[in-house]
């Protein structure tokens, strides 16, 4: 009896002590949303809290869909989404929404073919792969753009997202724009039914699938491909050129985006221009127009300001595209409307 | 304190006096009610959100094969089949292996020390968390299946079971890892059943000149059969509910396929993947799928427990 | 129950081939024994594989700081998963705190007060589920 009494006391003490270890910081910010920008947001958090230790920020990459949901249900201080928010979703948020394009990136088609380093995919090829029409790597459509490269006679394993994803949204938007067959068969959205392939959770899940399966190809954000040393294909853009994803080609695509006057929301689904990489997108931070807590809104505004200004210098290192100056100006304007 | 009845023995029903409820008794009663109430609460919180989907789709939910969140069209058949098939294949692999190990542990082919080591290893396998199995599956089983599956697909590809390209993340991979996860369950319960066989049966069999294995196959296993069946059913229930490891290995595909080498999906994996961002009809449909999973596992567990209790009663009297 | 296993030892030692039929039976017997023992040792393989994998990937990175520090931001190395350990400990501690008294109390009710009541049967059913 004595030992069990002692062990109960010990357990109770341990639990209480563990509670006190999670020190109550002055301000706690919770954010949730897309996995696409998660790496750079985490870096912003690490750098920002170094200079501002009284703020604790926590960001969870749960997918754009879940981010929007939690944001609407008032469970977080800010959300994040590659698919921004639809008018219907914005209407559902009582406090009003301010969309802030925080950073941008390219979506690359990373692949795992041993021995093939510089794969070129024409529009017909990559649309055909993802709609399920092209099933082997040595298909003539793929071979046409890759003269002299020995493509294996093995099946293509398409890797896609199993959860609701802004990355899926942007990618399917682009595919629907370039291929009527894809638009018809699959359509665009944060969660679509792909005709073929395996699915994983999050950008990191798809990255893992590509690494695990020989002959796999999947769509991930550029930073994930770069950090995991995956090869990715050069894609043919509208002008017919084969472009790889670089900061410059991504920036060229972003420059073609026209924002509507009152809302910072647009996607360059199929950019013209010789140097444009075909699949690049902004990704948004979702802030309430009106916050209830003055301390939180202060912290949120300061953090987002940091990200939009100093934070941009981490973009290239982590595989994102720094925001063009005009866009930064517009976002800082929009940030002022948050109260 | 009150009367001297009520000191636990249920078979002393003579003169059953009702105790005046004291605080302690009330506390224990509340605890028991809380346990039951929790289950009812869980069921209610699944059924209520599922109701719109149940109303809209009815039982057609389980025969439709298209799960399309974009077009608000939901059918759970591929996941239902995926759950059932992966669990069945896992059982197919784990049952013979588990029974043989149970036999090894209950007979004395090798000294007690060796038997204890194997028993310890099996119990360790039971203690490994699901996520670790998933990671191990990714690191070790997927490359194996890709290679081995490649041979299967090349030589036996004409069979629908092995047709199509061999992806690493497939039904086969998930079933293999599931088999190892349910192996300890089958082994433990089968061993208990085998050890519970009365020694007189064994001795009688040897007395008429049967060899060790003839005894095992013709006397021990038939006698322990109810226990082994119970073990299988309970393992089946566990395999059906397994989420993390399976979601990491099975490929999460909403398409039906005959081939074991293609990706598939399970109900548990579907919930884990899509729940975070679902709303409206999709959320309802997911809850409906959850309800199906709960009912399925409930029936399987009930059946397993029932068979187990009958097995214990059958061999209880013989000395 | 151990008497069951110890009383059957004599069978193996007294197997003797008297004629063709018993030779076959003894052969079959030995085959099954071999299969059974081999399969049992096969179960060591997955466990050793898992443990080996964990040790191989984990030991090079094992430092005391791993248990106390927070995960690093992407693009940086180092740090640890102290938050996960604390989270697990708190979660398990809380779960125990809630479930232990509830479980013990309802078990007492089941055994001491009214083992045959409807409530008791309901609790047993719920517990198995």
Q: Report CA dihedral (C19, C24, C26, C32) to the nearest 10 degrees.
A: -170
What confidence score (pLDDT) does residue B318 get?
59
Cβ(A66)–Cβ(B276) below 8 Å: yes
Mutation choice for A interface testing from C70, C72, C73, C94 by most A CBs within 10 A: C73
Residues in chain A with CB shorter than 8 Å from the CB of C90 are 15, 18-19
Distance from CA of B291 to the nearest CA of C (A): 14
Of residues B35, B206, B302, nearest to C123 (C-beta) = B35
C116 lies within 8 A of chain B by CB:
yes
Q: How far from A45 is each of A48, A53, A318, CA to CA, in Å?
A: 5, 11, 14
Q: Chain B contact for A164, CB < 8 A? A: yes
| Interface contact flag, A318 C89, Cβ < 8 Å | no
Q: Is the pLDDT of residue A262 over 80?
A: no
For chain A, state the CA radius of gyration: 22
- Contact indicator for B47, B291 with CB cutoff of 8 Å: yes
Taking the Cβ of residue B6 and every Cβ of chain C, the question of whether any pair is shorter than 8 Å is answered with yes
According to DSSP, the residues that pair with A158 across neighbouring strands are A217
Tokens of B196: 């519970």
Asked if C59 reaches chain A (Cβ–Cβ under 8 Å), the answer is: no
| Closest to A66 in 3D by CA, of A173, A218, A191, A175 | A191
Q: Sort out which chain B residues have CB atoms less than 8 A from A215's CB and list them.
A: 165
d(Cα A157, Cα B47) in Å, to the nearest integer? 37
3-state secondary structure of B72: coil
Mean pLDDT lowest among A68-72, B15-19, B21-25, B303-307: B15-19
Interface mutation vs chain A, best among B64, B77, B174, B273, most A CBs within 10 Å: B273
Residue A47: both structure tokens together:
């750098």
Can you tell me which residue has the tokens 């990715």?
A232
Instruction: Please give the radius of gyration of chain C, using alpha carbons only, rounded to the nearest integer.
Output: 28
| Residue A302 · residue A287 · CB < 8 Å | no
Closest Cβ–Cβ partner in B70, B272, B279 for A192: B70
Which pLDDT score, from 0 to 100, does residue B4 have? 45
CB contact under 8 A, C86 and A22: yes
Write down the pLDDT at residue C60: 86
Q: Are A18 and C86 in contact (CB under 8 A)?
A: yes
Least CB–CB distance from C47: residue in B39, B100, B125:
B125
Residue whose C-alpha is closest to residue B52's, from B278, B243, B293, B295: B278
Q: Are A276 and A256 in contact (CB under 8 A)?
A: yes
**pLDDT score of B317:** 61
Q: Give the residue from chain A lying closest to C75, CA to CA.
A: A318
Q: What is the DSSP letter of B264?
A: B
State how far residue B63 is from chain C, nearest Cα, in angstroms.
27
For residue range C38-73, list pLDDT tens digits in order. Answer: 988 888 888 889 988 988 988 888 888 888 888 877
β-strand pairing of A157-161 with A216-221: parallel
d(CA A197, CA A109): 14
Domain boundaries, chain C: 1-62, 80-129
Interface check A14 vs C, CB under 8 A: yes
Min distance C108 CA to chain A CA atoms (Å): 17
Q: Do B277 and A200 touch (CB under 8 A)?
A: no
Q: Average pLDDT of A89-98?
A: 88
Both tokens of residue A94? 């009582």
Structure-block tokens of residue B32: 């028991």
List the 4-63 stretch of C: residues with Cβ below 8 A of B. 4-12, 15, 25-26, 28-29, 32-33, 35-37, 39-44, 46-47, 49-50, 53-54
Q: Residues 127-146, chain A: which have Cβ within 8 Å of C? A: none
Q: Can you tell me whether residue A125 is helix, strand or coil?
A: helix
Q: Using CA atoms, how far apart are residues C52 and C61, in angstroms rounded to an integer?
A: 15
User: Given pLDDT bands bounded at 50, 70 and 90, which one contains residue C6?
Assistant: very low
Residue A223: its chain C contacts at CB < 8 A?
74
Summarize pLDDT for C18-29 with one digit per residue, the tens: 777 888 888 888
- Backbone phi, psi, residue B186, to 5°: -60, -45
The region of weakest confidence among A114-123, A144-153, C106-115 is: C106-115
Can you give the pLDDT at residue A166?
A: 84
User: B206-252: per-residue pLDDT in tens?
Assistant: 899 888 899 999 999 888 988 898 889 889 988 998 998 998 899 88
Distance CA B223, CA B194 (A): 8
Q: Of A308, A243, A313, which Cα lies nearest the Cα of A279?
A: A243
User: Domain spans of chain B?
Assistant: 57-316
Q: Which residue in the block uniquely carries the two structure tokens 């994040």?
A: A80
Q: What are phi and psi of A106, to 5 degrees?
A: -105, 150
How many residues are there in chain B?
319
pLDDT, tens digit (0-9, with 9 covering 90-100), for B117-174: 888 888 888 899 999 999 999 989 998 888 888 888 888 878 888 877 778 889 999 9
CB contact under 8 A, A21 and C96: no
Retrieve residue A118's tokens. 């510089």
Task: Say which DSSP state A136 is in.
Answer: B
Evaluate whether ipTM surpasses 0.85: no
DSSP for A249-305, written as a single string: HHHHHHHT----SS------SS--STT--S-EEEEEEEEESS-S-HHHHHHHHHHHH
Which one of A132, A160, A209 makes the best mutation probe of the B interface by having the most chain B beta carbons within 10 Å?
Answer: A209
Contact A80, A307 (CB under 8 A): no
Alpha helices in B107-198 (DSSP H): 112-127, 130-136, 142-155, 171-195
Q: Is C99 on the interface with A (CB under 8 A)?
A: no
For B247, counting Cβ atoms within 10 Å of its Cβ (0-12 exposed, 13-18 middle, 19+ buried), the class is: buried
**Region for A63 from its dihedrals, namely left if φ exceeds 0, alpha if ψ lies in -120 to 50, beta otherwise:** left
Local confidence band at A15 (pLDDT 50, 70, 90 cut-offs)? low
Residue A305 φ/ψ, nearest 5 degrees:
-60, -45
Mean pLDDT of A234-241: 89
* Nearest CB neighbour to A198, from listed B69, B146, B253: B253
Mean of the per-residue pLDDT values of chain A: 86
Q: Do B97 and C28 make contact, defined as CB atoms within 8 angstroms? A: no
Query: What would the DSSP string read from start to end of A205-239?
Result: HHHHHHHHSTTEEEEEEHHHHHHTT-EE-EEE-TT
Going along chain A, which residue ranges are E strands?
27-33, 55-61, 78-81, 97-112, 120-121, 157-161, 198-200, 216-221, 231-232, 234-236, 242-243, 280-288
Minimum-distance CB partner of C97 among A15, A46, A223: A15
At C85-104, the pLDDT tens digits run 889 999 999 999 999 998 89
Q: CB of A279 within 8 Å of any CB in chain B? A: no
Q: Strand pairing of A157-161 and A198-200?
A: parallel
Tell me which fold the domain B57-316 belongs to: MetI-like fold (1.10.3720)
What confidence category does residue B15 fall into, taking pLDDT thresholds of 50, 70 and 90?
Answer: very low
What separation, in Å, do the N-terminal and C-terminal C-alpha atoms of chain B show? 41
Task: Evaluate whether B95 touches C16 at the Cβ level (below 8 Å).
Answer: no
CB contact under 8 A, A65 and B165: no
CB < 8 Å to B135, chain C:
53
Higher pLDDT, A163 or B86: B86
Give, in order, the Cα–Cα distances in Å from B271 to each of B156, B247, B252: 34, 10, 11
Lowest mean pLDDT among A14-28, A211-225, C114-128: A14-28
Cβ(B178)–Cβ(B295) under 8 Å? no
User: Nearest-CA residue of chain C relative to B200?
Assistant: C4
Neighboring chain A residues of B247 at a CB cutoff of 8 Å: 201
Of B103, B118, B211, nearest to C43 by CB-CB distance is: B118
Match 């109770």 to its residue by tokens: A12
User: Cβ separation of C74 and A314 shorter than 8 Å?
Assistant: no
DSSP B137: I
Distances from the Cα of B54 to the Cα of B66, B76, B284, angstroms = 16, 12, 8
In the stretch 236-275 of chain A, residues with CB closer than 8 A to chain C read none
Q: A11 — contact with chain C (CB < 8 Å)? A: yes
Query: Is A209's Cβ below 8 Å from some Cβ in B?
Result: yes
Q: What is the pLDDT of residue A274?
A: 85
The distance in angstroms from the start CA to the end CA of chain C is 29
Write the residue in C15, C36, C46 that is nearest to B125 by C-beta: C46
- Nearest Cα neighbor of B146 from A214, C124, A307 is A214
Helices (H) and strands (E) in chain C, counts: 6, 0
Indicate the range of B278-287, B307-316, C58-67 predicted with least confidence. Answer: B307-316
Nearest to A139 by CA among A125, A122, A149: A125
What SS3 state is found at A240?
coil
Q: Note whether A44 and A306 are within 8 A (CB).
A: yes
Residue of C nearest to B36 (CA): C123
- CA distance, residue B59 to nearest chain A CA (Å): 22
C-alpha distance from residue A333 to each of A255, A295, A315, A336, B106 (Å): 19, 21, 21, 5, 77
Q: Given this model, what pLDDT does residue B136 score?
A: 92
pLDDT number for residue B19: 66
- The span from the CA of B153 to the CA of C76, in Å, is 43
Given a contact cutoff of 8 angstroms between Cβ atoms, the answer to whether A161 and A36 are in contact is no
Answer yes or no: do C44 and B212 touch at CB < 8 A. Answer: no
CB contact under 8 A, B104 and C40: yes
CB within 8 Å: A164 and B278: yes
Confidence (pLDDT) at B81: 92
- Note the pLDDT of residue C8: 40
Q: How confident is the model at residue B16 (pLDDT cuts 50, 70, 90)?
A: low
Q: Do A189 and B263 touch (CB under 8 A)?
A: no
What's the whole-number mean pLDDT along residues A32-36? 88
Tell me whether residues B118 and C47 touch, CB distance under 8 A. Answer: no
Q: What per-residue confidence (pLDDT) applies to B6?
A: 45
State the Cα angle at B119 between B115 and B124, rounded to 5°.
150
d(CA B135, CA C53): 9
Closest approach of A76 to chain B, Cα-based (Å): 14
The model's confidence at residue B319, banded by pLDDT at 50, 70 and 90, is: low
User: What's the Cα-to-Cα distance from A8 to each of A20, A238, B31, rounded to whole Å?
Assistant: 19, 69, 20
Closest-CA residue of chain A to B65: A193
At residue A285 the predicted structure's pLDDT band, cuts being 50, 70 and 90, is very high
Residue A232 pLDDT > 80, yes or no? yes
Nearest to C39 by CA among A178, B105, A101, B213: B105
Closest residue of C to A48, CA-based? Answer: C73
Contact list in B for residue A162 (CB cut-off 8 A) is: 252, 269, 273-274
State residue B315's pLDDT score: 62
b or e along B41-65 (b: 16 or more beta carbons within 10 Å of the residue's beta carbon)?
eeeeebeebbebbbeebeeebbeee
A85, pLDDT greater than 50: yes
Distance CA B242, CA B246 (A): 7
Residues A107-131: tens digit of each pLDDT: 999 999 998 888 999 999 999 999 9
Of B57 and B103, more confident: B103
Which of A332, A284, A286, A325 has its CA nearest to residue A305?
A: A332
A129, A158 Cβ separation under 8 angstroms: yes
| C85 contacts in chain A (CB < 8 Å) | none
């Amino acid at each position: 009896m004595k030992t069990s009494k002692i062990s109960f006391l010990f357990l109770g003490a341990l639990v209480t002590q563990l509670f006190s270890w999670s020190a109550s910081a002055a301000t706690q910010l919770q954010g949730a949303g897309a996995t696409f920008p998660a790496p750079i947001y985490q870096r912003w958090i690490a750098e920002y809290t170094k200079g501002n230790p009284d703020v604790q920020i926590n960001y969870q990459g749960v997918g754009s869909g879940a981010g929007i949901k939690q944001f609407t249900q008032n469970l977080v201080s800010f959300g994040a989404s590659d698919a921004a928010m639809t008018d219907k979703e914005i209407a559902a948020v009582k406090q009003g929404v301010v969309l802030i394009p925080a950073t941008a990136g390219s979506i690359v088609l990373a692949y795992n073919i041993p021995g093939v380093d510089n794969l070129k995919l024409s529009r017909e090829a990559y649309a055909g792969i993802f709609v399920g029409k092209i099933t082997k790597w040595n298909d003539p459509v793929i071979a046409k753009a890759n003269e002299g490269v020995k493509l294996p006679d093995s099946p293509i394993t398409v890797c896609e997202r199993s959860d609701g994803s802004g990355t899926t949204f942007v990618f399917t938007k682009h595919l629907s724009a370039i291929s009527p067959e894809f638009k018809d068969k699959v359509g665009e959205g944060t969660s679509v039914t792909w005709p073929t392939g395996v699915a994983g959770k999050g950008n990191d899940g798809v990255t893992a699938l590509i690494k695990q399966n020989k002959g796999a190809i999947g769509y991930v954000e550029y930073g994930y491909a770069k950090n995991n040393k995956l090869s990715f294909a050069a894609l043919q853009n509208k002008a017919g050129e084969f472009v790889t994803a670089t900061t410059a080609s991504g920036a060229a695509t972003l420059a073609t985006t026209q924002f509507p006057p009152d809302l910072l929301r647009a996607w360059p689904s199929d950019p013209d221009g010789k140097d444009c990489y075909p699949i690049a997108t902004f990704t948004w931070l979702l802030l309430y127009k009106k916050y209830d807590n003055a301390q939180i809104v202060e912290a949120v505004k300061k953090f987002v300001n940091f990200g939009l200004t100093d934070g941009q210098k981490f973009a290239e290192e982590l595989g994102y595209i720094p925001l063009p100056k005009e866009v930064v100006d517009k976002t800082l304007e929009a940030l002022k409307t948050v109260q | 304190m009150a009367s001297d009845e009520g000191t636990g023995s249920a078979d002393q029903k003579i003169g059953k006096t009702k105790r005046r409820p004291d605080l302690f008794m009330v506390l224990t009663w509340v605890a028991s009610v809380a346990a039951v109430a929790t289950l009812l609460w869980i069921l209610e919180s699944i059924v209520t959100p599922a109701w719109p989907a149940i109303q809209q789709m009815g039982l057609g939910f389980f025969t439709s094969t298209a799960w399309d969140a974009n077009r608000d069209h939901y059918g759970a058949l591929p996941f239902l089949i995926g759950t059932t098939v992966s669990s069945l294949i896992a059982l197919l692999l784990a049952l013979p292996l588990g029974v043989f190990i149970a036999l090894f542990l209950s007979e004395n082919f090798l000294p007690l020390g060796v038997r204890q080591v194997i028993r310890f290893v099996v119990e360790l396998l039971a203690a490994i968390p699901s996520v670790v199995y998933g990671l191990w599956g990714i690191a070790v089983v997927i490359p194996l299946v890709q290679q081995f599956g490649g041979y299967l697909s090349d030589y036996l590809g004409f069979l629908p079971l092995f047709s199509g390209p061999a992806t690493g993340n497939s039904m086969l991979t998930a079933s293999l890892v599931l088999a190892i996860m349910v192996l300890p369950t089958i082994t433990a319960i089968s061993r208990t059943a085998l050890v519970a066989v009365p020694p007189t049966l064994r001795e009688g069999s040897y007395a008429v000149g049967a060899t060790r294995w003839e005894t095992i196959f013709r006397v021990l296993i038939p006698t322990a059969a109810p226990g082994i069946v119970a073990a299988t059913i309970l393992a089946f229930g566990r395999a059906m509910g397994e989420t993390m490891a399976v979601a990491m290995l099975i490929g999460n595909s909403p398409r039906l396929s005959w081939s074991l080498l293609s990706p598939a999906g399970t109900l548990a994996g579907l919930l884990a993947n899509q729940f975070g961002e679902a709303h409206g009809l999709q959320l309802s449909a997911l809850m409906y799928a959850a309800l199906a999973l709960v009912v399925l596992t409930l029936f399987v567990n009930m059946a397993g427990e029932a068979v187990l209790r009958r097995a214990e009663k059958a061999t209880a009297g013989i000395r | 129950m151990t008497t069951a296993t110890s009383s059957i030892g004599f069978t193996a030692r007294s197997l003797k081939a008297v004629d063709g039929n018993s030779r076959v039976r003894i052969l079959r017997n030995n085959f099954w024994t071999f299969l059974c023992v081999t399969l049992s040792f096969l179960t060591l393989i997955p466990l050793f594989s898992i443990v080996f994998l964990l040790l191989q990937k984990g030991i090079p990175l094992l430092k005391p700081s791993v248990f106390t520090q927070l995960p690093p931001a992407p693009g940086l190395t180092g740090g640890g998963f102290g938050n996960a350990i604390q989270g697990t400990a708190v979660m398990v501690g809380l779960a125990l705190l809630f479930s232990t008294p509830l479980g013990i109390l309802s078990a007492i009710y089941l055994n001491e007060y009214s083992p045959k009541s409807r409530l008791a049967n309901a609790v047993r059913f719920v517990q198995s589920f």
